[in-house]
């Protein structure tokens, strides 16, 4: 794995006369959230600059775009969308249109926060922004590719994506960023929780049972067993199911089975409204999904249930105090969205293992809360 990083420690508005800073980041909710610490650092580094986001346009309903995440922060003045092209002709037309729009911005600096890039792709990005668009200063994560899989060996651990991007922005991993929740979203979350009779002092545990990728879903019966054990063990605990509209039906099913002290907010709040609910939780337990990343960004410790479809480490939640449960299997690193083996790797995570991990996180969180008083 090779990283070629640009030193941007001296690249500030006053030092370089930067008026407009372009930030290039694509992806949906989880991808956008792991880049948030780096973008927060960029905002601090260029407090007087006009920041513009370049990102792809999400066309499918229910998908959260990067702008949905970054827009409410107030860090960006504007956004430039482009539509992913399929044919060679569409790619050419997109490139011409994008070049014209970006040239009009007269940017002096671009931060390229794209995901995994080969040496060829990284060089192509730099050439486009500097030579084609005419942006003189370029900062990016450089070449990043996963090491090859070796037969009979476990997949090597990769550093978290949020940490790599922080370095690309010229910051250290010690930079602390907490997702700022807009007032309206906070009030919407508080209003919904109040309807369930959950005030500020309620002991909440968030449950994230969904994912757009079936290969990332822990078995539903395990969630059912885990939730019941938590309710039996902790009479003061309430379970709150979080997620998008796709998770609403399953959430209702579990709440009906748990009956007492379980509530479903999946699909009923914006991403930031869900973040406010997660901020009020003692812990999050669930799949590797956007809700997990939201929990990490608001400082809520996670018990994250990871499949082995990808390399370990890269998509772990931001921050400290998390427990990641993942089991290596012979087909690890498959990158399949639908598993032909009934999610064998996730099925290896037993209910007892998740329960004990969550008990440890709850005890640690409650101890730290008492110590802060």
Whether 25 maps to a domain, the answer reads yes
At 172 the pLDDT is 67
Whether 180 maps to a domain, the answer reads no
Picking from 141, 168, 195, the residue at the C-terminal end of a domain is 168
At 3 the pLDDT is 30
Q: Which long-range contacts (CB under 8 A, 24 or more apart) does 120-124 make?
A: 122/4
Is residue 163 domain-shared with residue 192, that is, in the same domain?
A: no
Question: Crossing angle, helix 271-279 and helix 290-297, to 10 degrees?
Answer: 50
Is residue 75 domain-shared with residue 115, that is, in the same domain?
A: yes
Dist. CA 10–CA 2, nearest whole Å: 24
CA distances from 25 to 69, 160, 285 (A): 11, 16, 28
Is residue 59 domain-shared with residue 160, that is, in the same domain?
A: yes
Dist. CA 328–CA 344, nearest whole Å: 10
Is residue 140 domain-shared with residue 200, that is, in the same domain?
A: no
**DSSP letters along 105-156, please?**
HT-SEEEE--SSB-HHHHHHHHHIIIIIS--SEEEE---B-PPPP-TTSPPP
pTM as predicted: 0.89
Provide the domain limits for residue 254: 187-368
What is the count of structural domains for the chain?
Answer: 2
pLDDT tens, residue by residue, 294-312: 999 999 999 999 999 999 9
CA distances from 242 to 22, 91, 321 (A): 33, 37, 20
Dist. CA 77–CA 51, nearest whole Å: 6
308: domain CATH number? Answer: 3.40.50.2000
Question: Crossing angle, helix 351-372 and helix 220-233, to 10 degrees?
Answer: 40
Picking from 118, 136, 168, the residue at the C-terminal end of a domain is 168
Is residue 199 domain-shared with residue 337, that is, in the same domain?
A: yes
At 60 the pLDDT is 67
Is residue 155 domain-shared with residue 192, that is, in the same domain?
A: no
Inter-residue contact 251 to 266 (CB < 8 Å): yes
Inter-residue contact 309 to 336 (CB < 8 Å): yes
Is residue 109 domain-shared with residue 23, that is, in the same domain?
A: yes
At 59 the pLDDT is 63
Whether 317 maps to a domain, the answer reads yes
Is residue 35 domain-shared with residue 131, that is, in the same domain?
A: yes
At 15 the pLDDT is 41
Is residue 151 domain-shared with residue 215, that is, in the same domain?
A: no
| Maximum alpha-carbon separation in the chain | 63
Whether 173 maps to a domain, the answer reads no
pLDDT tens, residue by residue, 192-219: 999 999 988 889 999 999 999 999 999 9
89-118 burial code (b ≥16 CB/10 A, e <16):
eeeeeeeeebeeebeebebbbbbbbbbebe
Q: Positive or negative, the Cα torsion across 348, 352, 356, 359?
A: positive
Inter-residue contact 209 to 242 (CB < 8 Å): no
Dist. CA 36–CA 53, nearest whole Å: 12
Whether 86 maps to a domain, the answer reads yes
Q: Positive or negative, the Cα torsion across 181, 187, 192, 198?
A: positive
At 16 the pLDDT is 47
Whether 8 maps to a domain, the answer reads no
Is residue 146 domain-shared with residue 201, that is, in the same domain?
A: no
Whether 5 maps to a domain, the answer reads no
Provide the pairing of β-strand 281-287 with 302-305.
parallel
At 167 the pLDDT is 85
> Which residue, among 65, 41, 37, 63, has the nearest Cα to 53 in the 3D structure?
65
Tokens of 5: 């990083």
Question: pLDDT below 50 — which residues of the chain?
Answer: 1-17
At 7 the pLDDT is 37
Is residue 150 domain-shared with residue 234, that is, in the same domain?
A: no
Picking from 168, 201, 221, the residue at the C-terminal end of a domain is 168
Is residue 155 domain-shared with residue 233, that is, in the same domain?
A: no
Whether 182 maps to a domain, the answer reads no
For the chain, helix (H) and strand (E) counts, in that order, are 14, 11
Dist. CA 198–CA 183, nearest whole Å: 19
113: domain CATH number? Answer: 3.40.50.20
């Amino acid at each position: 794995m090779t990283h070629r990083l640009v030193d941007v420690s001296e690249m500030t508005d006053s030092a370089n006369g930067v008026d407009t800073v372009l930030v290039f980041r694509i992806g949906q909710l989880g991808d956008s959230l792991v880049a948030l610490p780096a973008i927060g650092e960029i905002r601090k580094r260029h407090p007087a600059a006009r920041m513009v986001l370049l990102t792809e346009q999400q066309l499918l309903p229910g998908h959260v775009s990067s702008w949905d995440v970054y827009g409410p922060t107030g860090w960006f003045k504007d956004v430039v969308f482009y539509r992913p092209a399929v044919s060679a002709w569409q790619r050419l037309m997109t490139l011409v249109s994008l070049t014209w729009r970006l040239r009009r911005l007269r940017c002096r600096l671009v931060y390229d926060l794209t995901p995994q890039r080969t040496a060829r792709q990284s060089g192509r990005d730099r050439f486009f922004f500097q030579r084609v668009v005419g942006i003189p200063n370029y900062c990016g994560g450089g070449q990043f590719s996963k090491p090859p899989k070796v037969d009979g060996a476990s997949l090597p651990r990769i550093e978290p994506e949020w940490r790599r991007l922080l370095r690309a922005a010229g910051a250290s991993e010690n930079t602390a960023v907490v997702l700022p929740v807009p007032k309206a979203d906070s009030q919407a979350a508080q209003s919904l929780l109040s309807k369930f009779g959950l005030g500020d002092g309620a002991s909440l545990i968030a449950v994230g049972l969904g994912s757009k990728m079936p290969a990332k879903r822990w078995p539903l019966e395990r969630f059912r067993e885990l939730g019941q054990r938590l309710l039996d063990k902790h009479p003061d605990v309430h379970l709150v199911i979080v997620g998008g509209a796709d998770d609403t039906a399953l959430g209702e099913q579990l709440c009906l089975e748990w009956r007492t002290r379980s509530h479903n907010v999946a699909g009923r709040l914006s991403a930031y409204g869900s973040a406010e609910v997660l901020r009020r939780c003692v812990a999050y337990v669930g799949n590797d999904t956007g809700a997990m990343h939201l929990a990490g960004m608001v400082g809520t410790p996670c018990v994250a249930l990871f499949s082995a479809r990808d390399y370990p480490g890269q998509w772990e939640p931001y921050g400290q105090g998390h427990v990641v449960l993942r089991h290596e299997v012979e087909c690890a690193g498959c990158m399949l969205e639908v598993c032909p083996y009934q999610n064998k790797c996730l099925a290896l995570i037993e209910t007892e293992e998740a329960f004990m991990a969550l008990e440890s996180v709850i005890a640690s969180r409650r101890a730290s809360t008492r110590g802060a008083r």
